[in-house]
């Protein structure tokens, strides 16, 4: 990389820094992250950063646009009340038909 490219990269992207799980690491915070095992009791748990990542890794990453729902999902969201009423009606009809069959 020549000096011009380095200058352009640092002005547009910024200075280089270390990242762990999408978070900027501070120079003083060089502690190990990951699975923490207590040798006395044998208890293991994830460190705070990894625990948050495990809970939130499926979420949309920051800075990216949220995907629009598909056609079927929009249709289901639009007509959810009618679908619920139809489901309750079919459940009631099924219960009545079973009641009639068992009553005989």
Q: What is the pLDDT of residues 19-73, one digit of tens each?
A: 655 566 666 655 666 777 888 888 888 777 677 666 666 666 666 777 788 899 9
pTM of the model: 0.36
pLDDT of the residue at 27:
64
Return the half-sphere exposure (C-beta side, CA atoms, 13 A cut-off) of residue 89.
6
In which element (H, E) is residue 35 found?
strand 35-37
CA distances from 16 to 13, 61, 64, 72 (A): 8, 20, 22, 44
| 19: β partners | 24
Phi, psi of 10 (to 5 degrees): -70, -30
In the block, residue with structure tokens 């890794």: 57
């Amino acid at each position: 990389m020549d000096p011009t490219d380095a200058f352009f990269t640092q002005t547009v992207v910024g200075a280089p820094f270390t990242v762990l799980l999408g978070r900027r690491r501070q120079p003083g915070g060089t502690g190990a992250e990951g699975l923490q095992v207590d040798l006395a009791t044998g208890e293991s748990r994830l460190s705070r950063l990894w625990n948050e990542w495990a809970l939130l890794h499926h979420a949309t990453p920051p800075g990216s646009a949220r995907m629009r729902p598909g056609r079927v999902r929009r249709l289901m969201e639009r007509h959810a009340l009618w679908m619920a009423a139809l489901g309750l009606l079919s459940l009631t009809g099924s219960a009545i038909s079973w009641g009639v069959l068992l009553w005989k």
